[in-house]
């Protein structure tokens, strides 16, 4: 094919294969090398590097080299090293077949999607376990189970783990897996970066867990200064974690946008793009632009903790508000990084199960883009009583409340899609419908927090905690499960058990509401967030919440049982298109062949043409999909 | 689990990717990366003006906190010159003047290295440290992280030059379909014309480097002139 | 958009929409006043200060706007999920309706109106006298009349209070005179705290180096709870206290007693200032 096929590929000398094991070994080695170097600097350098007995430089260097070693062990350095020497990339490294692919660097977007699902699932369960322990502590008003410092670490671990890892909960597993299939591509634009985002996230989660060896951290997920600067070395784990998550999100967002912009198959115009892809673009653009601000803020915090700069130390020329501003410039878009994928999943799934086209496609797109844009203009609503820019509060109140308008578009489009439909109550559909309920409560309670006079009482109380659990857990985690139940048959080729799925849904839905609805009342009655003690008259409600939370935790075990039983033991093959969807990924065999499409398909319409063929179930196989296969 | 993986591909039936795919991807990524870079440094722009306006404890900028304008200016001149050279090198490459592009490329690489060296010289000779108030913090954080971005660009330039130099004797034709797509394990052939990797990457680099040099000029203006 | 398929004509019975809207209006007219009235009774922080009552009034407005929205959703979903469920096992598509400009425009107009109503009313309430929230060093909503300044100093892990008009007296107890306008100056010596006087309807963050001003107009004597509402480190959960509002004469007596009690240590206090810069508590390295 080429004009000159004479150039040989460089010889490959590989003593040990790259995989997770070598990654972990080199990760540990890297940590100790960094630790040693850090202590060397500490012992020899100028005064301000060496003023206390806890050596944050050593910890940061250890973490940094640990990540480098981990990535090297996974084989991520062979590409840049080949390029430095002028050799073209050799792409043979992911030719390996079999289960081993899932335990190393693999650039097949379908493998990465499944890696993400399992990896995120593990950390989701760890984060959930922390929540269980928090609720155990709060069974009694006085401190009972954990020392105050350990309790704060649990709170911080739960919040940080969930906010950091779950940011990629939809884009990681599902967008990586289905976006190329939806747009008729064989791969993501940058497959190596795609794999990198996953392994960075895993490294981040693991390093965050090591905070317990350094005494934990006291700041919660916000990491507010100057508490951050005071805290002992456990804080470094938080900073490194969020920094890595930031890099992972940035690259994930970049890759997603690039893929959807450049890799769409012929005929897939912007107005035919599946709505899920629009949700992915919105989320990805927030990831791309908000993460750098977070990374910058964390680097400033790192410098404050190591090189004794004073970005956030008021008595030395810095400002605590600077951190709060930078954190929430990231933090509010982050909230929509968590919420928007939920919108996308719901709008994508409703047409399939209501058997109607998506109602108001343009309005739905405008809604998601509007939310994306407005989410940049609202960050100081987290600081209404902080004393910052008191005169700007009416603006932030207005801009925050304006977000309800584009969010309302999503609601309208979803609701009108259901209207006059033929609604089928499958498990993924139940989770989508629950989203409406949860997000409605989350949205309405958000009005109280966005309204300054009302926020004076609700801010920093359990009310705001209940609010964001309704939007994030009710908005994201419910749709996360909707996506699992919906796409797992395509991803694995096996069905999940329907009965267990329904049991999971109903226990989760009821326990979720029973857990978080009373928290609104607890907040209104004066319990601040993140406390280890509370007034004794709030014990009944708190106990109610704790017991509900345990049931909620148990509902996750139902899911886990279903997942393992269906995919490992029962293994009932899934049909190619069990939901009767018109979307492209369902026209492919289950699971999807490595190269996705023999020929790149040509699109002639959007995937929502339900009812166009006189109400018959569609049998679209676009040009280019492999014939046959699946079951 | 094994059934996840056992799909053999008959490459004979798999259609190749369009040859311009790599260029499109890199071009888009270059722009996206530039926007992310802008937001990264916006955090420092914000920190500068915010801490300056607050001047907490009167410690925004004690008198002795005064980095060398000469070294800072020289560093930024080197950055801009390097970016301009890459741009000119790209024009050479488009016109098929491969030798001239390589020459300008190596020069640009050297200049970027000089910029980092000058920056390090400045840190080593200035009469203040990181603990000297708000300006000192912003100055050191900002220039330090800008230098990290410079190192990344140096890596990028170097990879292009390494490929261009290693295969300089080879006649490069039009890139074949499915070529260099990161997809070869699915399209069945390896990269036969490494030189064709250079142009798309150079186009993206030229844009990104110019953008980063622009941020450098802004950095210089805010930190030294304002 | 497209013409109805014959098989779906029954489902396109136009009375669906009218029925739903009718039910919604009926429900809203009956339930909204009840909910608003209940909210006035139930929603904290009560009416022990002007600011607290204002917050309750503000919450009633939010409830008044949200209740019909919530009712619309509930009515819609109850109706839709029952009436439009797939009745037979057979997989059949619904009508291919892709949008309706009138519905979209109506929706946008109504949601925008609701949002603007809330924002305007919230702003109005805020600018009355700050609604009890911290406003920073240069407050925009300043109530008229004379005010008693009281400084709240957060430190790990307690609040202390200074009375600049009484010789900069500093005490660990908060006692305030009834029927007075109070000007709270909230600051911190270390981490960020948040001064939350629950029944007073006051919350203001305590930032080191910042003077965060909040106003509260007290009514009759009472007691109130104080919590720290911003995570401030190890003993954050134990950073709570009880404050008192007492009659003017009791207050004068209390001040005298406190001045006498803290006389020995007062000389070591720094001069009263809007904020303090202690040595940075740094441990990094
Ligand atoms: Cu927000
Ligand atoms: Cu506190």
Contacts of A310 in chain B (CB under 8 A): 59, 131, 133-134, 136-137
Q: What is the mean pLDDT of residues A278-288?
A: 96
- A residues 343-402 closer than 8 Å to C (CB): 354-363, 383-391, 393-394, 397-398, 401-402
DSSP assignments along C210-268, one per residue: --EEEEEEB-SSEEEEEEE-S--STTGGG-EEEEEEE-HHHHHHHHHHHHHHHHHHHTT
Contacts of B181 in chain A (CB under 8 A): 187
Name the closest residue on chain B to residue C277, using Cα atoms: B57
- The rounded percent of chain A whose pLDDT value lies above 70 is 91
Q: Please determine, for residue A516, whether its predicted confidence score (pLDDT) is greater than 90.
A: yes
Confidence band of A626 (pLDDT split at 50, 70, 90): low
* Sequence spans of domains, chain C: 15-85+101-129, 148-283
The Cα C154–Cα C148 span in angstroms is 19
The Cα C93–Cα A421 span in angstroms is 8
Torsion angles phi and psi, residue A263, rounded to 5: -105, 10
Residue A360 gets the label, from left (phi > 0), alpha (psi -120 to 50) or beta, of: left
Query: In this structure, is residue B103 part of a structural domain?
Result: yes
Contacts of C209 in chain A (CB under 8 A): 314-315, 319-320
Look at residue A90 in the predicted model and tell me its pLDDT: 61
Query: In this structure, is residue B10 part of a structural domain?
Result: no
- The rounded percent of chain A whose pLDDT value lies above 90 is 65
**Sign (positive or negative) of CA dihedral C137, C138, C140, C142:** positive
Q: What is the mean pLDDT of residues A137-143?
A: 87
Name the closest residue on chain B to residue A302, using Cα atoms: B141
Q: How far apart are the CA of C207 and the nearest CA of chain A, in angstroms?
A: 7
The string of pLDDT tens digits covering residues A469-499 is 999 999 999 999 999 999 999 999 999 999 9
Nearest to A48 among B16, B129, B171 (CB): B129
Query: In this structure, is residue B2 part of a structural domain?
Result: no
The string of pLDDT tens digits covering residues A362-379 is 999 999 999 999 999 999
Nearest to A299 among B29, B57, B141 (CB): B141
SS3 C135: coil
Contacts of A91 in chain B (CB under 8 A): 182-185, 190-191
- A residues 216-235 closer than 8 Å to C (CB): 218-220, 222, 224-227, 229-232
Cβ within 8 Å of residue B172, ≥6 positions away: A3, B193, B195, B196
Q: Please determine, for residue A386, whether its predicted confidence score (pLDDT) is greater than 50.
A: yes
Nearest CA to A405 out of C125, C104, C70 is that of C104
Q: Under CATH, what is the fold of the domain C148-283?
A: Immunoglobulin-like (2.60.40)
Confidence band of C285 (pLDDT split at 50, 70, 90): very low
C-beta atoms surrounding A614 within 10 Å: 12
Q: What is the mean pLDDT of residues C139-168?
A: 91
Q: What is the mean pLDDT of residues A135-140?
A: 92
For residue C228, list its beta bridge partners: C195
Query: In this structure, is residue B163 part of a structural domain?
Result: yes
Nearest CA to A179 out of A345, A22, A316 is that of A345
Q: Please determine, for residue A274, whether its predicted confidence score (pLDDT) is greater than 90.
A: yes
Mutate to test the interface with B, among C136, C187, C273, C277 (most CBs of B within 10 A): C277
Q: Please determine, for residue A42, whether its predicted confidence score (pLDDT) is greater than 70.
A: no
Place of tokens 């009472």: C222
The Cα A552–Cα A513 span in angstroms is 9
Nearest to B29 among A258, A307, A311 (CB): A258
Torsion angles phi and psi, residue A225, rounded to 5: -85, 155
pTM of model > 0.90: yes
Look at residue A352 in the predicted model and tell me its pLDDT: 93
Q: What is the domain count for chain B? A: 1
Q: What is the mean pLDDT of residues A510-520?
A: 95
Q: Please determine, for residue A463, whether its predicted confidence score (pLDDT) is greater than 60.
A: yes
Nearest CA to A20 out of A73, A83, A62, A86 is that of A73
Query: In this structure, is residue B79 part of a structural domain?
Result: yes
The string of pLDDT tens digits covering residues A526-573 is 899 999 889 889 999 999 999 999 999 999 999 999 999 999 999 999
Nearest to A86 among B3, B51, B165 (CB): B165
Residue B107 belongs to domain with CATH number: 1.20.120.80
Sheet hosting strand C148-155, strand order edge to edge: C169-171, C158-163, C148-155, C181-188, C212-217
Look at residue A22 in the predicted model and tell me its pLDDT: 87
Q: A–B: how many Cβ contacts below 8 A? A: 247
Q: Do A385 and C134 touch (CB under 8 A)?
A: yes
Q: Do A358 and C98 touch (CB under 8 A)?
A: yes
CB C158 within 8 A of CB C172: yes
Name the closest residue on chain B to residue A87, using Cα atoms: B163
The Cα C258–Cα A89 span in angstroms is 78
Q: Do C11 and A455 touch (CB under 8 A)?
A: no
Q: How far apart are the CA of B57 and the nearest CA of chain C, in angstroms?
A: 7
- A residues 256-275 closer than 8 Å to B (CB): 257-258, 261-263
Contacts of A218 in chain C (CB under 8 A): 231, 233-234
Q: Which residues of chain B are at the C interface, by a Cβ-Cβ cutoff of 8 Å?
A: 56-57
Nearest to B167 among A7, A84, A321 (CB): A7
Which residues of chain A form CATH 1.20.210.10? 106-570
Name the closest residue on chain C to residue B59, using Cα atoms: C277
- Higher-confidence position of B169 and A441: A441
SS3 B1: coil
Domain that holds residue B133: 44-54+68-168+193-226
Q: How far apart are the CA of A249 and the nearest CA of chain B, in angstroms?
A: 11
DSSP assignments along C84-128, one per residue: TB--SSS----------HHHHHHHHHHHHHHHHHHHHHHHHHHHH
Nearest CA to A591 out of B4, C231, B18 is that of B4
Q: Please determine, for residue A80, whether its predicted confidence score (pLDDT) is greater than 60.
A: yes
Q: Do A1 and B9 touch (CB under 8 A)?
A: no
Q: Which helix (H) or strand (E) holds A439?
A: helix A427-450
Q: Which helix (H) or strand (E) holds A539?
A: helix A539-564
Pairing type for strands C169-171 and C158-163 reads antiparallel
For residue C169, list its beta bridge partners: C163
Q: How far apart are the CA of A343 and the nearest CA of chain B, in angstroms?
A: 24
Q: Please determine, for residue C60, whether its predicted confidence score (pLDDT) is greater than 70.
A: yes
Look at residue A1 in the predicted model and tell me its pLDDT: 34
The Cα C285–Cα C277 span in angstroms is 21
Which class in CATH covers the domain with range A106-570?
mainly alpha
Q: What dihedral angle (degrees, nearest 10) is formed by the CA atoms of C169, C174, C178, C180?
A: 60
The Cα C120–Cα A395 span in angstroms is 10
The Cα A249–Cα A286 span in angstroms is 9
Q: Which residues of chain B have pLDDT under 50?
A: 1-11, 179-189
If you average pLDDT over every residue of chain A, what do you get? 88
Mutate to test the interface with C, among A457, A474, A586 (most CBs of C within 10 A): A457
Sheet hosting strand C222-228, strand order edge to edge: C175-177, C240-246, C222-228, C193-197, C202-206
Assess whether the previous peptide bond of C70 is cis (omega < 30° from 0).
no
């Amino acid at each position: 094919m080429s004009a000159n096929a004479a150039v040989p590929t460089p010889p490959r000398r590989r003593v040990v294969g790259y995989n997770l094991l070598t990654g972990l070994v080199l990760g540990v080695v890297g940590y100790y090398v960094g630790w040693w170097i850090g202590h060397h600097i500490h012992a020899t350098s100028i005064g301000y590097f060496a003023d206390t007995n806890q050596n944050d430089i050593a910890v940061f260097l250890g973490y940094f080299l640990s990540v480098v070693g981990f990535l090297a062990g996974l084989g991520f350095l062979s590409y840049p090293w080949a390029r430095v020497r002028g050799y073209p990339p050799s792409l043979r490294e992911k030719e390996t077949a079999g289960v081993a692919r899932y335990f190393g660097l693999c650039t097949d977007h379908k493998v990465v999607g499944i890696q993400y699902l399992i990896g995120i699932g593990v950390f989701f369960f760890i984060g959930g376990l922390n929540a269980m322990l928090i609720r155990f502590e709060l069974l009694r008003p006085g401190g009972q189970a954990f020392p105050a410092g350990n309790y704060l670490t649990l709170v911080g671990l739960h919040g940080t783990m969930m906010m950091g890892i779950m940011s990629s909960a939809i884009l990681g597993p599902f967008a990586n897996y289905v976006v190329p299939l939806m747009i008729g591509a064989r791969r993501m634009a940058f497959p190596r970066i795609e794999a990198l985002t996953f392994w960075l996230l895993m490294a981040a989660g693991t390093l965050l867990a090591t905070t317990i060896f350094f005494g934990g951290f006291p700041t919660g997920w916000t990491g507010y200064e100057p508490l951050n600067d005071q805290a002992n070395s456990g804080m470094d784990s938080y900073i490194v974690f969020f920094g890595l998550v930031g890099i992972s999100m940035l690259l994930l967002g970049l890759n997603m946008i690039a893929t959807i912009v450049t890799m769409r198959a012929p005929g897939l115009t912007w107005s035919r793009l599946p709505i899920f892809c629009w949700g992915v673009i919105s989320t990805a653009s927030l990831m791309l632009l908000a993460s750098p601000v977070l990374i910058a803020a964390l680097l400033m915090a790192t410098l404050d903790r190591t090189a004794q700069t004073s970005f956030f130390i008021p008595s030395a020329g810095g400002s605590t508000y600077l951190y709060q501003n930078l954190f929430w410039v990231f933090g509010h878009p982050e909230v929509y990084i968590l919420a928007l994928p939920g919108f996308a999943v719901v709008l994508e799934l409703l047409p399939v199960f209501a058997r109607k086209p998506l109602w108001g496609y343009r309005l739905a797109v405008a809604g998601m883009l509007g939310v994306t844009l407005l989410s940049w203009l609202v960050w100081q609503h987290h600081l209404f009583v902080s004393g910052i820019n008191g005169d700007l509060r009416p603006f932030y109140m207005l801009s925050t409340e304006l977000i309800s308008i584009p969010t309302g578009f999503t609601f309208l489009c979803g609701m009108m899609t259901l209207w006059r439909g033929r609604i089928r109550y499958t498990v993924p559909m139940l989770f989508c419908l629950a989203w409406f309920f949860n997000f409605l409560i989350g949205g309405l309670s958000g009005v109280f927090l966005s309204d300054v006079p009302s926020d004076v009482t609700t801010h920093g109380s359990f009310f705001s905690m209940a609010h964001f659990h309704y939007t994030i857990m009710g908005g994201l985690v419910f749709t996360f499960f909707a996506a699992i139940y919906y796409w797992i048959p395509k991803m694995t080729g096996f069905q999940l058990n329907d009965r267990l799925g329904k049991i999971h849904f109903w226990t989760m839905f009821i326990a979720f509401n029973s857990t978080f609805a009373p928290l609104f009342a607890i907040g209104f009655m004066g319990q601040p967030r993140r406390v280890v003690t509370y007034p004794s008259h709030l014990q009944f409600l708190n106990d109610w919440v704790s017991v509900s939370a345990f049931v909620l935790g148990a509902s996750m075990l139902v899911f886990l049982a279903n997942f393992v039983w269906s995919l490992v033991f029962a293994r009932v093959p899934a049909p190619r298109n069990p939901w009767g969807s018109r979307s492209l990924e369902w026209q492919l065999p289950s699971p999807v062949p490595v190269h996705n499409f023999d020929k790149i398909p040509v699109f002639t319409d959007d995937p929502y043409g339900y009812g166009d063929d006189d109400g018959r179930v569609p049998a679209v196989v676009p040009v280019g999909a492999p014939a046959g296969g699946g079951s | 689990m094994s059934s996840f993986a056992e799909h053999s591909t008959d490459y004979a039936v798999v259609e190749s990717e369009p040859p311009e795919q790599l260029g499109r991807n890199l071009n888009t990524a270059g722009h996206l990366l530039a926007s992310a870079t802008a937001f990264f440094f916006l955090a420092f722009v914000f920190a500068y003006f915010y801490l300056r306006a607050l001047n907490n404890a009167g410690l925004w900028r004690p008198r002795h906190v005064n980095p060398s304008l000469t070294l800072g200016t020289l560093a930024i001149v080197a950055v801009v010159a390097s970016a301009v050279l890459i741009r000119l090198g790209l024009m050479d490459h488009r016109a098929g003047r491969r030798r001239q592009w390589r020459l300008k490329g190596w020069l640009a690489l050297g200049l970027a290295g000089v910029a980092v060296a000058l920056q390090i010289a400045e840190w080593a000779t200035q009469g203040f440290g990181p603990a000297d108030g708000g300006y000192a913090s912003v100055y050191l954080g900002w220039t330090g992280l800008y230098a990290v971005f410079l190192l990344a660009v140096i890596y990028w330039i170097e990879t292009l030059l390494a490929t261009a130099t290693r295969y300089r004797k080879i006649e490069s034709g039009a890139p074949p379909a499915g070529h260099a797509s990161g997809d070869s394990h699915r399209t069945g052939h390896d990269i036969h014309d490494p030189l064709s990797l250079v142009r798309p990457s150079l186009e993206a680099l030229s844009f990104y480097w110019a953008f980063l040099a622009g941020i450098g000029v802004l950095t210089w203006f805010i930190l030294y002139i304002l | 958009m497209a013409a109805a398929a014959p098989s779906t004509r029954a489902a396109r019975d136009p009375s669906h929409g009218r029925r739903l809207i009718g039910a919604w209006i009926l429900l809203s007219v009956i339930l909204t006043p009840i909910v608003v009235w209940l909210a006035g009774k139930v929603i904290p922080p009560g009416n022990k200060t002007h600011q607290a009552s204002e917050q309750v009034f503000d919450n009633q407005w939010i409830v008044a706007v949200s209740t019909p929205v919530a009712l619309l959703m509930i009515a819609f979903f109850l109706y839709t999920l029952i009436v439009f469920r797939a009745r037979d096992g057979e997989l059949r598509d619904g009508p291919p309706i892709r949008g309706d400009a009138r519905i979209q425009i109506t929706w946008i107009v109504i949601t925008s109106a609701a949002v603007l109503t809330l924002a305007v009313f919230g702003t109005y309430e805020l600018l009355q006298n700050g609604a009890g929230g911290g406003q920073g060093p240069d407050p925009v909503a300043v109530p008229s009349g004379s005010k008693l300044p009281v400084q709240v100093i957060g430190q790990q892990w307690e609040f202390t209070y200074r009375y600049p008009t009484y010789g900069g007296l500093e005490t660990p107890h908060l006692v305030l005179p009834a029927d007075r306008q109070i000007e709270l100056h909230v600051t911190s010596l270390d981490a960020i705290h948040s001064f939350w006087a629950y029944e007073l309807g006051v919350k203001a963050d305590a930032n080191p180096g910042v003077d965060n001003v909040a106003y509260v107009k007290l009514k009759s004597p009472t007691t109130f709870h104080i919590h720290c509402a911003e995570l401030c480190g190890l003993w954050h959960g134990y950073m709570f206290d009880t404050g008192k509002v007492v009659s003017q004469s009791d207050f004068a007596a209390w001040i005298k007693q406190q001045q006498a009690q803290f006389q020995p240590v007062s000389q070591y206090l720094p001069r009263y200032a809007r904020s303090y810069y202690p040595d940075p508590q740094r441990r990094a390295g």
